A = this chain, B = another copy of it.
Amino acid sequence: MTNDSITLSDKTIGRLSLYRRVLERTPKNNKPIGHIFSHELAALAGFSAVLVRRDLMTIGFSGNPKKGYDAAELLDCIGKFLDAPGGTNVALIGVGNLGRALLAYFTYRRPMLSIVAAFDANPEFTNRVIQGCRCYSPDDMERVVQEKNIRMGIIAVPSVGAQDAADRLMRLGVTGFLNFAPVALRVPSSVYVNQIDMTMELEKVAFYARQTKE
């Protein structure tokens, strides 16, 4: 409940994020969930009940056999682990098709995690507000990242510009990236990169779809 230095695995963090959203979005008879059992949460999130209990165990959250887990308390507890106290400010690099979709997707979705600035060299976008987010020229990156206290970046530019963008942001103190460019970013071990490769994900599906067909 209090100790923040427990080590959570990557997988567990991802699932906590899902549990939270499930708890926030799923009403029970039109009102927020009061208590929930591990098997219910598991079904909603798509995992097994034991796994849910393990995850909650590792964050030190406990329920009771009669009522299950208190949803509001659980949300609080997950928030303590996932959210930075004052929220985290994010920069989006690249306002192409993917970038704009990400803006639309993330705007107002998580109050503690918001894209506060977008950057794109294309003058068609610079100094305009897109999906509620101001778009700047890359020339302003130094100033804006510092002014807005930006701590992480979403890379949505073509492969060729990805490493450059990451390097500039890292020099400004950014320590985490969500990278959609299909290229492995070279970063020091103190920086975290979450690589999303759409083509890979699609090909995985194609592989399995084909297996079950034959």
Interface residues of A (CB under 8 A from B): 8, 10, 13-14, 17-18, 21, 25, 43-46, 81-84, 88, 90, 96-98, 100-102, 104-106, 109-110, 113, 151-152, 154, 159, 174-178, 182, 184, 190-192, 194-213
Contact = CB atoms under 8 A, between A and B. Distances in A.
15 contacts: A13-B204, A17-B200, A18-B200, A21-B182, A43-B184, A45-B184, A84-B206, A97-B101, A98-B104, A101-B101, A102-B198, A178-B202, A192-B211, A192-B212, A196-B201
Contacts of A96: 101, 104
A24 to B, nearest CB: 11
A4 B156 CA distance: 36
Given A199-B17, A202-B90, A202-B154, A97 B106 contact: no
Contact of A17 (B83, B203, B213): B203
A209 B187 CA distance: 13
A98 B88 contact: no
Contacts of A191: 212
A205 B176 contact: yes
Nearest to A115: B202
Contacts of A82: 203, 206-207
| Pairs A-B, 8 closest by C-beta atoms | A176-B209, A46-B184, A192-B208, A101-B101, A97-B101, A97-B104, A176-B205, A17-B200
